[in-house]
């Protein structure tokens, strides 16, 4: 649904809609990383260059909450390159996974949801990127008919495609 409550027309197909979602997730990730970087630099009273930031993103516990989103973006990129292309069921499973990931779950320590909601509410760049992801999600098939097993299977396929790619 659009902001006016109208149905959002589907993209040219699952691949196009998932590509738009991937671009939105990348922008969201970039804004979350920038915000987390500012917070970390303020806490540490230091500035970090790009190389140091990459090391921190991949190994420092302060940034561990972002890794699930990083992995999903990589998985989605790989999934879009695999033949045959994704179908409606695949797209619905991806939508369910993204919705699960960006839905705050304060009960799961180290999850994206711990800081995500705070950042969406507090940082305009994160809020804009979040809105773009939400719009991209609306262009994907509704996951209500997709069970958790299908979501897990799709995620497994992403990982297998990535493993065989290297």
DSSP labels, 46-101: ----HHHHHHHHHH-GGGGGGHHHHHHHHHHHHHHHSSSPP-HHHHHHHHHHHHHH
22-45 residue pLDDT tens: 999 999 999 999 999 999 999 999
Domain boundaries, the chain: 14-165
Mean pLDDT across 107-119: 75
pTM (predicted TM-score): 0.79
Is the pLDDT confidence value at 79 over 90? no
Q: What is the mean pLDDT of residues 56-68?
A: 92
The pair of structure tokens assigned to 41 is 């630099």
């Amino acid at each position: 649904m659009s902001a006016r409550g109208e149905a959002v027309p589907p993209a040219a197909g699952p691949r196009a809609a998932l590509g738009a979602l991937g671009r939105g997730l990348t922008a969201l990730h970039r804004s979350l990383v920038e915000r987390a970087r500012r917070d970390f630099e303020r806490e540490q009273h230091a500035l970090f260059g790009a190389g140091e930031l990459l090391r921190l993103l991949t190994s420092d516990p302060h940034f561990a909450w972002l890794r699930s989103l990083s992995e999903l973006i990589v998985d989605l990129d790989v999934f879009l390159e695999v033949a045959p292309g994704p179908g409606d069921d695949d797209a619905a499973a991806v939508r369910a996974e993204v919705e699960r990931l960006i839905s705050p779950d304060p009960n799961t320590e180290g999850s994206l949801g711990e800081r995500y909601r705070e950042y969406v509410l507090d940082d305009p760049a994160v809020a804009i990127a979040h809105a773009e992801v939400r719009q991209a999600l609306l262009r994907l098939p509704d996951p209500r008919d997709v069970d958790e097993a299908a979501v897990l299977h799709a995620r497994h396929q992403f990982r297998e495609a990535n493993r065989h790619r290297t």
